[in-house]
Structures are given as C-alpha cells and as structure tokens.
A and B are shown apart, each in its own frame.
Chain A
Amino acid sequence: MHVSLDSALGRQRRLNSVGESVLQIAPSAAAAYSLRSLTGGDPKVVRVRRSALSGADNEIDFTVSEVSSGALTSFVTEPVSTLLNSAYYFSPDSHSHVDFDSDITLADGETMSLKYFFDGVTGTDLLFDSGGASTNSMLITTSISPRVRINSESIDFGVGCKLLINQLDTLTMARSGNDITITTGTGAVTKSFTSGAFTFNRLGGNSSQTFQGVFYNLQIGSRHNYTGLGGAATAWNDTVGSNNGTPDNLVSFTGQTVHGFVDTWFDQSGNSKDAVQPTADNQPKIVNAGALVVDSGIAGLDFDGSTSSRFLVAHSVSDLEGSLSMFSTSVRDATGYTVSLSNSSSGVKYFGIQEGGSSSVANPRNTTDVLVSDSVSGVDRLTFALTTGATSTSVGTNGSAVTTSTSDYGDDFDEGDLNQIAIGLLKTVSASGHFNGRIREILVYTSDQTDNRTALETNIAAEYGITLS
C-alpha cells in the first residue's frame, strides 16, 4: 500500500499527483457534479432538454466528451440546423421587417404561405400589414392565434389554427371569394369577410408591434416567391415576379431562440444522487441562443436567479450529518446560494454556500442562522465550507485560510435534519436564495475534507483558471 510522505507525517496533502482526478484525490464524496470528468473516465454528466422540438426525442443524456465535442450543442440546434446562418431572425429590439415594393393583394382562389419558427409573442404582434394594425393586417394575438383585418373588419381565427411554438411550421392563407382559410400545424379555420381582398406590403410589423422569429419561403400563389434564405440582402428579392422585398434591420439567425436546459446533473460519486429538475421553467440553461454557456471558454450551468427560479435537487440523500464539507466552483452575477444541504419539508434547516459581492458565506442553520464570511474579490469563486458541529463552521474562498465561527446554529446536524442537496438556491420549502450566475462544479462530503483541501483546490483551480491565494 502506498502511503504519501504527507500522510506519513500527518500533514495536509499539498498537491495532487499529475493526472489524478478529483475523486481519486478525495474518493469518498457523497455527491459530485461537474461538466468535466471527476473520475478519470468519460461519465454521463447531464440530461438536456432542447427548446426547439423535433419528433419525440427532445431530451437525451450527454457524456463529458459529448459536451466538449459540440455534440450537445448540435443536438440542441439540430431542429433548425438548416436555417442557421442562412435565414433571418426578425428581432423586436431592432424592429426587423421587410417592405415590399408594392401592395400584394391575395387574389380569389389564391393561397399564400410562409414558413416560420418562433418561441412566442411579446404581446399582440403584427405579422403582415400595410401600414399598421388598424389597416389590412394579420396579427398574432397573445393566445398565439391569428387575427385578420381586411378594411374595417377584424376577425379572430382562434386557437383552432394557432401557430406552433418552437417547431418549424408553415402558415397558409387561402382565399375563396370572401372566405379566408388559415392553416397551421394546429389545424385549419375558415372565416367569412365582407371582402376577402387581404392586402399587405410589410412582413414583420411596426416598431411597437414587431413580430419576433424566423420567417422564410414566402410564396403568394405562383406570382411571387421569396426564399428569405442565403444570408444576403437579396434574400427577399422576388424570384418569380418583380415585387422585391427590402429588408430592414434583419439579423442573421444564429439560434437566438434556441436553448438547452438541464433536466439532470448526474452524480459522479457513484452514489446515484443525481440532481434533477422535472419542471421546465425551473431548469438551468446549458445552451443559450444556440451556443454552449461558457465563461472564459469554460462551460457551466446558468442559473439566472434575477428573472427566474432555476435549481436542481438531489432527493433522499441520507447521512448528511456530523462533519460536512462542500466545494463550490462558480461565476457569480449576483448574490445567491450555489449549493445547500437542506430539508425537503422544512425551510429552516440547511447548510449552504452563498456567493456575495465581496464575500463568500457559509450559512448553517438547524435552529439558529449562522453566517460565516470570507472576504474575496472577483466573480470566479472556489469556496470551501465546512461544519464539524453546531459550534464550528468554517469557510475559505480561492485558497484563502478559512474563517471559522464558533457561533451555535443549534444542535449538530443529525440524521434527517438534512435530506437533500439543492443546487442553485438555499432551500426548497418557501424557496429562496436563488443563485444568479454559472455553477461549474459541486462536491459534497459527509466528512471533514480539510486535509484534502489543498490538493482538491489545486486540481479545481487548474481546471477553471482560478488563482489561489
């Protein structure tokens, strides 16, 4: 059996050996989450749901190598891959639109069609118009369904032909006399007008009711055709007739509305304490606007605590008692908790790490809140928190010597006081303390890891470019 000199001398390990993984340095983790390998192999690290839908398999697992190779990002953008850097994104921020040289009026017996991809409306948005919502126009209402105005007559087509969100689809509008039929992937609805002469000269709406999304392949009968593809100013030229479209403020589509969300952050410790989030609106992002979420080129999970409540939880974790150690690696935007050992049915028992503006804080509570702070500057954080009992809590960030408090947080944590690992917030009962930033790695030990701290932090700091003090 190999015994290191440090160990033989009863000293803290100073360095990790070359090539040694985190779980070889300190193998007894209760749970370990990262996008890199903590084991030395190529483990499964995340299960990802993509926002753009295609078929039934919109959620799959990825290994470390699949994250770094781009396979994960490709999965997320795959449903719109043919449109990337070819089609145009109509952005409400810049009022993107296309103006046609002259009015286009749908003739009796004619059908027009438009392919689209979008992720929702911001209000009641104009899609086609000839001078605003109060003139001839097609609006998409807040229920994602069309409303058509011809002269002074405005008719809602209802949800029977609502547009599909996050899916490639085609909207068609057919005129038969004074009847207008709108068809989408949802279905077809026909409405009768006093006059069926729908007219427009703009796609994309006006400055206050801009439609957001990707549009292409606009066809009006056999008279006009616009590919909207190819990424050139001529993409909206009429390839059949001579009524060209002039684009204004169009943005190349690079996946602005395409995101990937983490349903599961797999535990690499071998204890199968995977951190999960079955609610879509609460899942952290891993792909944003078609690109992997990174800081300085290093991937992380985005917990946007400012506008949402994103978090993951490993449920039914036993033995969270006695001495507890946590290592949290993150990039903060605002104050919040990166990790917390907490209770699934109580909001007053926890041991969390909070990343503040100029300090990192260990926050245990069994019956009384205790806050132990370590001063730190910058947004890149590698924080070690430790409690060895109700009157001993320590915290140290980016390699600094720990600050220790003897304040009493009540009783020592005993079996059942803490039964879950929450990532991205303090507690799940009366949920609070949501983190705003990227979390890169979380390690949890049900033991005092002071002796392994230097070796572990040396490994982590090297991976994430963190300067240790």
Chain B
Amino acid sequence: MLYLIYASKEAAIERADEEGKEIGYSYWIHGIGTRWLTYPQETADYMWALDVTDYDLDDSEKASTVDHYTPLPEED
C-alpha cells in the first residue's frame, strides 16, 4: 500500500476529490453517489493518510509516498 500524508483532512480530501473526478465517479457527473476512491484516515501524530495505491500520481507525489502509517489509537 502507498500513502500520501497531509497536514489537514481538507487537503487530503481535496486530493481524493481530484482522483474521484478523474475516474469519473457518479458524484462528479450526477451530483449523487460515489465520490472518492479512498478516504483519508487520521494518523497517530494527527496528520491524515490517504491510500493512493491505485491513484494516478505525478512524479512529485510518487516521491512523497510512504508504505505505512500509524493510525490514531482507539479512545479508551
């Protein structure tokens, strides 16, 4: 798995939106239905990890991917 790490959820969703548009999901054509391929998850250090394994990445993004992240621990 490949992930891009973002400082904010909004930035991660923006990238997920971009990929969803590129794929042509229903949400971006008809306004309802599938919007994203993947959705960001919060990390242990309060960043946001987006699974981009199947994304069409540019060279800069490819160089920034990581192959794992530590998820936010569960609440007690």
Q: Chain A interface (Cβ within 8 Å of chain B)?
A: 47, 49, 53, 56, 58-59, 120, 159, 261, 263-264, 278-283, 346-348, 429-430, 432
**B74 contacts partner chain A, Cβ-Cβ < 8 Å:** yes
Among B26, B38, B73, B76, the residue within 8 A (CB) of A279 is: B38
B33 to A49, Cβ gap below 8 A?
yes
Query: Which residues from A are CB-within-8-Å of B35?
Result: 278-279
Query: From residue 41 to 76 of chain B, which have CB atoms closer than 8 A to chain A?
Result: 51, 54, 56, 71-76
B74 to A281, Cβ gap below 8 A?
no
Report the minimum CB–CB distance from A156 to chain B (whole Å): 13
Query: Which residues from B are CB-within-8-Å of A59?
Result: 25-26, 30, 33-34
B72 to A430, Cβ gap below 8 A?
yes
Among A58, A278, A282, A430, the residue within 8 A (CB) of B71 is: A430
- Ordered nearest first, which 7 A-B pairs have the shortest CB separation? A59-B26, A278-B35, A279-B39, A430-B74, A59-B33, A347-B75, A279-B36
B74 to A347, Cβ gap below 8 A?
yes
Query: Which residues from A are CB-within-8-Å of B39?
Result: 278-279, 281-282
Query: Which residues from A are CB-within-8-Å of B75?
Result: 346-348, 429-430
Chain A residue nearest to B39 (CB atoms) is A279
A49 to B37, Cβ gap below 8 A?
no
Task: Identify 14 new A-B residue pairs, CB closer than 8 A, beyond the known A279-B37, A280-B38, A281-B38.
Answer: A56-B29, A58-B26, A59-B25, A263-B33, A263-B34, A264-B33, A278-B27, A278-B33, A278-B34, A279-B34, A346-B75, A430-B72, A430-B74, A432-B74
- 20 A-B pairs (CB sep. < 8 Å): A49-B25, A49-B34, A56-B24, A56-B29, A59-B33, A59-B34, A120-B54, A159-B56, A261-B34, A263-B26, A263-B34, A264-B33, A278-B35, A279-B37, A280-B36, A280-B37, A281-B37, A281-B39, A281-B51, A283-B34
A47 to B33, Cβ gap below 8 A?
yes
Query: Which residues from A are CB-within-8-Å of B73?
Result: 430
Interface string of B4-39 (1 = CB under 8 A from A): 000000000000000000001111011011111111
B25 to A280, Cβ gap below 8 A?
yes
Among B34, B71, B72, B76, the residue within 8 A (CB) of A280 is: B34
Bound form: Cα–Cα A281–B20 in Å:
12
Chain A residue nearest to B42 (CB atoms) is A430
